[in-house]
Amino acid sequence: MDRLIAELTPRGDETPDPVTSYLTDDRPAPPGRPWILISMVASVDGATTVNGRSGGLGGPGDRRVFQALRGSADMILVGAGTVRAESYRPPQTADDQIMAHRVAQGRAPRPRLVVVSSSLELEPTAPLFADHSIEDPLPLVATVTSAPPSRREALTAVAELVACGANRVDLTGLLAVLDDIGAGVVLCEGGPGLNHQLLAAGLVDELCLTISPNLVGGVGGDVHSLLAGSSLPIPARLHLDRVLSEDDYLFCRYLVS
């Protein structure tokens, strides 16, 4: 049978609610680890940053999708480089719709941040730690046994440290730890190096990609792309589950086959 080309752009009066769509997606945790969801925004030519940050690519719809994805997660996984570049802060209290969903799902009011850092090059006074609410558990920092003792000591008052590996964070081991402490859905917000490691290890279940209607140029130089690293051992096959659109942005939900 010949395959037909389908037009995905909505043509009727129906206006899907992106918050409801992303909150109600089924995300069953695989055995021994949480469901892993990568969320990124990229320009049409594949750039994920403008002047070193992702905010220049987003828009109002992308921010709503971002909040909905955070609302669906128990924990947020992010690399230390992204924490530094984006001046990461603790997750904020969500709006009433998202909060009601979290309560109904038995989730904490806000997802917990998990930072991957082999070197522990994180400042204890950074917003991620300094703005932390005493009502929430401390951010979890995944590191290695060879991390400098002085850096470990500097962070012990502001974070919970867990060693997963000797010289490089073992992501499979880390996800087993997160599974043990009750994480059913983990949202990975990058950066490209962490995305690559997760995909190369076969640990990704879902990719939510916002395609920003911009051309940036410079990808491969000072501008980051979705993945950073050598070619994947086996290309990750994606299944397109859904496309939403607003103001020329595309919000694509892929499932990893």
Q: Tell me what the mean pLDDT of segment 8-27 comes to.
A: 76
Q: Tell me what the mean pLDDT of segment 226-253 comes to.
A: 90
Angle at 133 between CA 150 and CA 34, to 5 degrees: 80
Better pLDDT: 6 or 72: 72
Count of CB atoms within 10 A of residue 232's CB?
12
Q: Is the pLDDT of residue 13 over 80?
A: no
Per-residue DSSP letters for 108-122? -SSPEEEEE-SS---
- Give dist(CA 183, CA 17) in Å, integer: 26
Q: How confident is the model at residue 14 (pLDDT cuts 50, 70, 90)?
A: low
Q: Is the pLDDT of residue 167 over 70?
A: yes
Q: How confident is the model at residue 229 (pLDDT cuts 50, 70, 90)?
A: confident
Q: Tell me what the mean pLDDT of segment 212-225 comes to.
A: 73
Better pLDDT: 195 or 219: 195
Lowest-pLDDT range of 141-145, 241-245, 252-256: 241-245
Q: Which residue has the tokens 């997802």?
A: 111
Dihedral class, residue 49 (left if φ above 0, else alpha if ψ from -120 to 50, else beta): beta
Predicted local confidence at residue 1, as pLDDT = 45
Give tens-digit pLDDT for 96-141: 889 998 989 889 999 999 999 999 999 999 999 999 889 999 999 9
Q: Give me the domains of the chain, ranges plus CATH numbers.
A: 29-256 (3.40.430.10)
Sheet with strand 35-43: strands edge to edge: 160-163, 140-143, 112-116, 75-79, 185-188, 35-43, 206-212, 249-256, 238-246
**Preceding amide of 184 cis, omega within 30:** no
Helix (H) or strand (E) holding 207: strand 206-212
Predicted local confidence at residue 2, as pLDDT = 53
Helix (H) or strand (E) holding 71: helix 60-71
| Residue type present at position 85 | A
Predicted local confidence at residue 61, as pLDDT = 87
Q: Is the pLDDT of residue 240 over 70?
A: yes
Predicted local confidence at residue 225, as pLDDT = 78
Q: Quick one: DSSP state of residue 159?
A: S
Query: What Å distances lie between residue 189 and 24, 36, 194, 214, CA to CA?
Result: 20, 11, 9, 20
Better pLDDT: 184 or 223: 184
Lowest-pLDDT range of 35-39, 175-179, 230-234, 236-240: 230-234
Give tens-digit pLDDT for 176-195: 999 999 999 999 998 899 99
Predicted local confidence at residue 52, as pLDDT = 66
Better pLDDT: 186 or 246: 186
pTM: 0.91
- Give dist(CA 206, CA 256) in Å, integer: 6
